[in-house]
């Protein structure tokens, strides 16, 4: 039995014992892989793991010299009226959720504000402090769109095609831009390819897709996000934990959990058990990570 299969068996047993609503699980340790399904492997919304893909998009554009993540977002969206302090917010601060601009998520946010970036930037910033908001990632991708055109389409030859992810769909706002902070639909195994790319610091089968230093920023230079375990540190889309690992974490249990040479991918429909899924994933691989 391979190490990956052993870890998967531990993970599956834990999920089933606790009756968590996982759809699929994929474990990669080194070059070994193992996977398990509870339902058919169809594309489903990866929710806030999409933020990690947005971070990859920004990094690829920066690598190509097209996009300055340390420039104020106003450089790319000059026509949007900015609230007090919002003019100083950089793209990097949008991606690390340190804009200090308060616009909480709601299921009707794009109906309430069809131009969500305009609404977001017209609000004041409290400075360089953590303020988690889907509108933050959306605004960052609006800035990128101003440079490269449609972000999803621009990513096809640069990210999705190299990973063998064919024609993915990404939910769009009423004005046609990707919603960015969620809405990207992938199969478990497709999401696992993104996990492998991140684990391998931006390299895919000998080809560099994004700079290693940018990938490193997804789990370093942590900002203080709060006091709750598992939600106290945030970087470029990455949350610190469980343990000495880190993760990309979407609602309802969509997960990429990284620990050393291991990456665990989970898709699920688990309303309250996402944190428990992350812990089980880490525990399954931590012994060999």
**Helices in the chain by DSSP H: which ranges?**
3-18, 50-63, 91-95, 109-112, 116-122, 134-148, 151-155, 188-199, 212-216, 274-286
Helix (H, G, I), strand (E, B) or coil at 58: helix
pLDDT in tens, the chain (289 residues): 999 999 999 999 999 999 999 999 999 999 999 999 999 999 999 999 999 999 999 999 999 999 999 999 999 999 998 899 999 999 999 999 999 999 988 888 988 998 999 999 999 999 999 999 999 999 999 999 999 999 999 999 999 999 999 999 999 999 999 999 999 999 999 999 999 999 999 999 999 999 999 999 999 999 999 999 999 999 999 999 999 999 999 999 999 999 999 999 999 999 999 999 999 999 999 964 4
d(CA 230, CA 195): 19
**Long-range residue pairs from 7-13, CB within 8 A, at least 24 positions apart, any chain:** 7/34, 7/262, 7/264, 7/284, 7/285, 7/288, 8/34, 8/35, 8/36, 8/284, 10/283, 10/284, 11/36, 11/264, 11/280, 11/281, 11/284, 12/36
Q: How many CB atoms lie within 10 A of CB 244?
A: 11
C-beta separation of 33 from 193 below 8 A: no
Nearest to 49 by CA among 288, 277, 289, 243: 277
All domains in the chain, ordered by first residue: 1-42+187-289 (3.40.710.10), 48-163 (3.40.710.10)
């Amino acid at each position: 039995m391979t190490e990956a299969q052993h870890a998967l068996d531990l993970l599956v047993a834990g999920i089933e014992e606790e009756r968590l609503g996982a759809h699929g699980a994929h474990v990669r340790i080194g070059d070994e892989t193992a996977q398990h399904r509870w339902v058919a492997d169809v594309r489903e919304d990866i929710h806030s793991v999409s933020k990690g893909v947005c971070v990859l998009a920004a990094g690829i554009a920066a690598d190509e010299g097209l996009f300055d993540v340390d420039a104020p977002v106003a450089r790319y969206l000059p026509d949007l009226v900015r609230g007090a302090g919002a003019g100083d917010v950089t793209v990097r601060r949008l991606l690390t959720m340190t804009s200090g601009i308060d616009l909480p998520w709601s299921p009707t946010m794009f109906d309430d504000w069809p131009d969500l970036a305009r609404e977001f930037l017209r609000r004041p910033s409290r400075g360089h402090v953590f303020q988690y908001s889907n509108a933050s990632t959306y605004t960052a991708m609006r800035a990128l769109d101003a440079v490269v055109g449609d972000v999803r389409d621009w990513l096809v030859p640069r990210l999705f095609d190299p990973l063998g992810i064919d024609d993915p769909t990404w939910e769009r706002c009423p004005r046609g831009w990707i919603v960015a902070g969620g809405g990207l639909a992938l199969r478990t195994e497709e999401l696992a390819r993104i996990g492998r790319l991140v684990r391998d610091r931006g390299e895919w089968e000998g080809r560099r897709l994004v700079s290693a230093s940018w990938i490193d920023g997804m789990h370093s230079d942590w900002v203080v996000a709060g006091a709750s375990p598992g939600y106290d540190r945030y970087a470029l889309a990455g949350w610190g934990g469980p343990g000495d690992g880190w993760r990309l974490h979407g609602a309802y249990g969509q997960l990429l959990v990284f620990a050393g040479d291991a990456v665990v991918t989970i898709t699920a429909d688990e309303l309250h058990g996402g944190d428990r899924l992350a812990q089980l994933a880490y525990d399954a691989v931590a012994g060999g990570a």
